[in-house]
Amino acid sequence: MTSIEKYEWVLLSNKDRVKPLAILRTEMPIFGEINGIVAGDLFDDRKALAEAGIHPPLVAGISGTQGEGADSIVLSGGYEDDVDLGDVIIYTGAGGQKNGRQVSDQKLERVNLALAKSKIEHLPVRVTRGHKHKHPLSPAKGYRYAGLYYVDDYWCDKGKSGYKVWRYRLIAEKTDSLDYLVKEPSGEYELPKRKQTTGNRIVRDYQKAKNVKAWYQFQCQVCGLAIETSAGLYAEAAHIKPLGKPHNGPDIESNILCLCPNHHVMFDNGGFAIDDNLNLIGINGKLNELKKHRISAEFIQYHRDHYLKNTE
Read off the amino acid at residue 54.
I
Binding to a copy of itself in span 116-135, by CB under 8 A: 116, 119-120
* Nearest distance from C-beta of residue 207 to a copy of itself, angstroms: 21
For the chain, what percentages of helix, strand and coil (3-state, to nearest 5) are there?
A: 20, 25, 55
| Separation between Cα atoms, residue 131 and residue 144, nearest integer Å | 8
Nearest approach, Cβ of residue 173 and a copy of itself (Å): 8
Q: Tell me how far, at minimum, the Cβ of 251 lies from a copy of itself, in Å.
A: 16
- Whole-number Cα distances in Å, 144 to 93, 134, 184, 219: 20, 13, 32, 40
* Sequence-distant (≥ 6) Cβ neighbours of residue 171 within 8 angstroms: 87, 88, 149, 150, 152
Return the residue of 88, 137, 281, 290 that touches a copy of itself, per CB under 8 A: 88
Contact present, 130 and 77 (Cβ < 8 Å)? yes
Element (H or E) spanning 235, and its range? none
Taking CB under 8 A as the binding criterion, the range among 8-16, 37-45, 60-68, 103-111 that sits at the site for a copy of itself is 103-111
Stretch of residues binding a copy of itself (CB under 8 A), selected from 19-27, 48-56, 96-104, 226-234 = 226-234
Q: Measured from the CB of residue 183, what is the shortest distance to a copy of itself in angstroms?
A: 8
CA distance 179 to 296: 25
Q: Which stretch binds a copy of itself (CB under 8 A): 43-51, 129-137, 211-219, 257-265?
A: 257-265
Under the rule (CB under 8 A), what is the footprint of a copy of itself? 83, 85, 87-88, 90, 105, 107-109, 116, 119-120, 150, 152-157, 169, 171-174, 176-178, 180-182, 184-187, 199-200, 225, 227-231, 234, 242, 244-247, 260-262, 264-266, 268-271, 305-309, 312
